[in-house]
Amino acid sequence: MSGHTDIIVVQLPRGATAMVWIDLATGTMATSHTGLQMTLPRGSKDGVGYLVLPRDGSVFLSAVYDHFFLSGYCVQWLWVSDLKRVQRTYRVKDETDR
C-alpha cells in the first residue's frame, strides 16, 4: 500500500493487536486479524444506531472505532503513510459480496 490512510488499531484480549484500514490500492476494507475478517462484513452500528457496511469506507471505519471504544477496548485512530510491513492482510467483504 502506498499513500496516506487512516488505520484503526485495536488492542485485543490476550495481547493481540488488530488493525482495520481502507486499502488504497483496491478501495476496500482490510484487516490484519482473521477473526475480524469474519465479523466485520456483518457491519457495525454508527453513533445513532444505523448499520454501516464496509463499502461505506471512512464512515464504516468510524463505526468500527466507536464499537470497540464503547466496548471497552483500547483503540487508536492513526493516519499513516506507506504501510508495508503487515504480515497478513485480509480483505473485508460486505455480506452482500458473497
Q: What is the pTM of this model?
A: 0.79
Residue 1's pLDDT band (boundaries 50, 70, 90)? very low
Inside any domain, residue 96: no
pLDDT given at position 85: 58
Q: Give 11-39 pLDDT, tens digit per residue.
A: 988 888 999 988 777 778 888 888 888 88
Asked if the model's pLDDT at residue 58 lies above 80, the reply is yes
Residue 97 domain flag: no
32 is a domain residue = yes
**Element spanning 74, H or E:** strand 74-81
Instruction: Report yes or no on 54 lying in a domain.
Output: yes
Quote the domain boundaries for residue 16: 4-91
- Structural domain total, the chain: 1
> What's residue 68's pLDDT?
92
Q: Please give the pLDDT value at position 4.
A: 67
> What is the spatial distance between Cα 71 and Cα 3, in angstroms, rounded to a whole number?
31
Residue 98: inside a domain: no
**pLDDT of res. 32:** 87
